[in-house]
Structure 1
Amino acid sequence: MAFHKNLVVIAIMSTILGAMALRPAPSNDEFNPSTFLKPFEQWMAQFGRSYTDIAERERRLAIFVKNLLFVNTFNNQGNNKTYKLSLNQFSDMTKEEFLRRYTGFEAPNVTSNSSNIKSFGYQDLSETDVPTRVDWREKGAVTPVKEQGVCSSCWAFSVVATIEGITKIKSDQLISLSEQQLVDCNRDDINRGCAGGNMEDAFKYIEANGGITTEENYQYKGIDDTCDTTKTNDYAAKITGYEMVPPNNENDLLKAVSMQPVSVAIDANADEFRTYASGVFSGNCGTNLMHAVTIVGYGTTEDGIDYWLVKNSWGESWGEKGYMRILRNANPPEGLCGIAMYPSYPTATAMAPTPSLL
Structure 2
Amino acid sequence: MTKHGRVYADVKEKSNRYVVFKRNVERIEHLNSIPAGRTYKLAVNQFADLTNDEFRSMYTGFKGVSALSSQSQTKTTSFRYQNVSSGALPISVDWRTKGAVTPIKNQGSCGCCWAFSAVAAIEGATQIKKGKLISLSEQQLVDCDTNDFGCEGGLMDTAFEYIKATGGLTTESNYPYKGEDATCNSKKTNPKATSITGYEDVPVNDEQALMKAVAHQPVSVGIEGGGFDFQFYSSGVFTGECTTYLDHAVTAIGYGQSTNGSKYWIIKNSWGTKWGESGYMRIQKDIKDKQGLCGLAMKASYPTI
TM interval, shorter chain, is over 0.9
Q: Specify the code of the residue in structure 2 equivalent to 1:338.
A: G
Structure 2: how far apart are the matches of 1:92 and 1:185? 33
* Kept after mapping to 1: 8 A contact 2:223/2:295: yes
Unaligned runs of 5+ residues in structure 1 are: 1-43, 349-358
What is the aligned-residue RMSD (CA, Å)?
Answer: 1.0
Question: 5 Å matches for 1:184-203?
Answer: 184-188=143-147, 191-203=148-160
1:323-338 map, 5 Å: 323-338=280-295
Quote the residue 1:156 is aligned against. 115
Which residue identity is paired with 1:132? I
Q: Distance in 1 between matches of 2:201 and 2:130?
A: 23
Q: Report the Cα distance in structure 2 between the residues aligned to 1:277 and 1:158, rounded to whole angstroms.
A: 20
What is the CA-CA distance between 1:118 and the residue it aligns to?
Answer: 3.1
**1:46: Cα distance to partner?**
1.6
What is the aligned counterpart of 2:106 among 147, 161, 164? Answer: 147
TM superposition shift of 1:78: 1.1
Name the aligned partner's letter for residue 161 of structure 1: A
Q: Secondary structure at the match of 2:260?
A: coil
Residues 172-198 of structure 1, C-alpha deviations (whole Å, 9 max, x = no match): 00000000000000013xx11111111
Find the residue that maps to 1:230 and give its secondary structure: coil
Using the alignment, how far apart are the partners of 2:174 and 2:260 within structure 1?
A: 45
Aligned residues: 301
Q: Partners of 1:280 and 1:127 in 2: how far apart?
A: 23
Partner of 1:89: 46
Equivalent residues in 2 for 1:181-330, closer than 5 Å: 181-188=140-147, 191-330=148-287
Q: Distance in 1 between matches of 2:141 and 2:51?
A: 28
* Identity across matched positions, percent: 53
Query: Normalization by structure 1: what TM-score?
Result: 0.83
Deviation, structure 1 residue 104: 0.2
Partner of 1:345, secondary structure, is strand
Q: Secondary structure at the match of 2:120?
A: helix
Distance 2:83 2:37 in 1: 38
1:224: how far off?
0.5
Counterpart of 2:213 in 1: which secondary structure? Answer: helix
Matching of residue 112 in structure 1 with residue 73 in structure 2: yes
CA distance in 2, matches of 1:118, 1:286: 26
Alpha-carbon distance in 2 for matches of 1:276, 1:177: 27
> Looking at both structures, which has the greater relative contact order when contacts are Cα pairs under 8 Å and sequence separation is at least 6?
2
1:132 and 2:101 equivalent? Answer: no
For 1:17-166, list aligned pairs within 5 A. 44-109=1-66, 112-114=73-75, 117-166=76-125
Shift, 1:96, TM fit? 1.1
Tell me what 1:173 maps to.
132
Distance in 2 between the 1:277 and 1:157 partners? Answer: 21
Q: Deviations over 1:78-99 (max 9, x none)?
A: 1521000000000000111111
Specify the code of the residue in structure 2 equivalent to 1:179: E
Residue by residue over 1:289-318, the C-alpha shift from the partner in whole angstroms, topping out at 9 and shown as x without a partner, is: 000000000000000000000000000000
Q: Distance in 1 between matches of 2:227 and 2:61?
A: 15
CA distance in 2, matches of 1:65, 1:170: 48
**3-state SS of paired residue (2:107):** coil
Residue identity matched to 1:91:
A
* Distance in 1, Cα, partners of 2:153 & 2:230: 20
Please give the residue correspondences for 1:6-25 in structure 2 after superposition, counting only pairs within 5 Å.
none
Q: Return the alpha-carbon distance in structure 2 between the equivalents of residues 124 and 202 of structure 1.
A: 27
Quote how far apart the aligned CAs of 1:128 are.
3.2
Runs of 4+ in 1 over 2 A off after TM superposition: 110-114
Counterparts of 1:317 and 1:139 in 2: how far apart (Å)? 23
How far 1:255 sits from its partner (Å)?
0.1
Q: Per-residue CA shift, 1:123-163, capped at 9, x if unaligned?
A: 00002321010000000000000000010000000000000
Inter-partner Cα distance in structure 1 for 2:108 and 2:297: 26
